[in-house]
Amino acid sequence: MLDTPQNYTGNAFTSIDFDKRGRQLGFISFPHSPHDDAWGVTQVPIGVIANGTGPTVVLEGGNHGDEYEGPIVIGELARDLDPGSIQGRLILMPANNVHAVRAAKRTSPVDGLNFNRVWPGDGMGTITQQIAAYVSQCIFPMADAFLDLHSGGSSLDILPSAIIEPTPDPDLHRRNVEAVRAFDAPYSVVVANLGDQRTATATACRAGLVTIGTEMRGCGTVSLDALEICRKGVRNVLAHLDVVEGGGVRRNDRPVLELAGPSAYVYAPVDGIFEPFHENGETVSAGQPAGRIHQTWDITAQPVTLHYGIDGIVYGKRHPGRVSPGNCCIVVASPYGQRA
């Protein structure tokens, strides 16, 4: 067991030596004592590849357990990347919310928690809170940059995009935008999660790390185009950070978009089946009908029409047809910095 930082409040341990050169693949082990395993551990997979001198970059996948492109790409890097080809250190964590990953669920089946709503975590909390605490207290202090590779999960289909986490630090914001442009996804989008600070990327920004998120389609499956965008984007960012040879990184100069607060979201007002009127990427305007909800079990019920709350493009769409009140049916992305 290696030393952990003095302020680490948990009791996880690992055989990984973060100061060692070369490739190491292993686990962070969190003592966990459920009914059927009194003295067992929850094993969160981790790989470290280090060589020469350069920045430390943390790559997270499996923050939600039903989002697959990022974890596939992180696993490929962990197994296949030649340590001699990098300058710096990669900390590769493809399945951080490991119980949710094994269950292919957004939230952990162990404690019911959404890993991306518990940061900075609690070393003495539930297992999901403990994993977040380890990353924020032990991993982030070693790091210069953080990539949090999400997709839309089981309930959303999202345009493949690199995500900018808002930060009040103007210099960090500039560096985050540069890194997101270097990722070169089809879309670059500022996503504030309605101001929620309990996310991995918000915590990484508070720690001063260059922070890049992604959304890579979704629908609880692997999308071929998004997987290739993710593979290339991660390589592009590592080249941008001078960890791998880039041969001249290109940074796209397409307009940055944002999810501009509550008006970007179209929520279901009633139970039923959601019929969208537009596909992802289509231009829409405030007040325009966005779709209808049908109560197909009641032949007398008129469909309920939903409307967009803002001008922009359809950025994400609910995947399952069945909706209940409050479900997110559509998300609209607007030009960044133009909110009314």
Q: Which residues bind Ca ion (CB under 5 A)?
A: 64, 150
Nearest Cα neighbor of 205 from 255, 136, 122 is 136
How near is the Cβ of 153 to Ca ion at its closest, in Å? Answer: 5
Which residue, 117 or 250, is less far from Ca ion as judged by CB? 117
Q: Which of 4, 80, 31 is nearest to 235 (CA)?
A: 80
Name the residue among 57, 54, 47 with its Cα closest to residue 80: 47
Contact 5, 141 (CB under 8 A): yes
The SS3 of residue 178 is helix
Task: Between 89 and 150, name the residue whose CB sits nearer to Ca ion.
Answer: 150
Collapsed DSSP state (helix, strand, coil) of residue 73: helix
For the bound state, the minimum distance from the C-beta of residue 215 to Ca ion, rounded and expressed in Å, comes to 7
CB of 241 to Ca ion, least distance (A): 23
Structure tokens at 164: 């900018």
| Residue 25 or 104 with smaller CB distance to Ca ion | 104
H-type helices in 197-328, by residue range?
Answer: 200-206, 224-240
Contact 144, 210 (CB under 8 A): yes
Strands 145-149 and 210-215, sheet pairing = parallel
In the bound state with Ca ion, the residue whose beta carbon lies nearer, of 64 and 317, is 64
Closest by CA position to 189, among listed 208, 214, 164: 164
Q: How far is the CB of 90 from Ca ion (least distance, A)?
A: 22
**CA 14 to CA 214: how far, in whole Å?**
28
Of 114 and 263, nearer to Ca ion (C-beta) is: 114
Q: How far is the CB of 297 from Ca ion (least distance, A)?
A: 31
Minimum CB–partner distance for residue 108 and Ca ion (Å) = 14
The CB-of-67 to Ca ion minimum distance in angstroms stands at 5
Strand bridging mode 161-164 / 145-149: unpaired
Complex with Ca ion: residue 150 or 278, whichever CB lies closer: 150
Cβ proximity to Ca ion, 64 vs 319, nearer residue: 64
Residue type, 277: F
- Give the nearest residue (CB) to Ca ion: 150
Q: Which is nearer to Ca ion, 218 or 276 (CB)?
A: 218
Smallest distance, Ca ion to C-beta of residue 154, A: 10
Round to whole Å and give the CA distance between 19 and 327: 46
What residues does 267 pair with on adjacent strands? Answer: 328
Please give the Cα distance from 195 to 188 (Å, whole number): 18
Which candidate, 210, 95, 121, places its Cα nearest to that of 164? 210
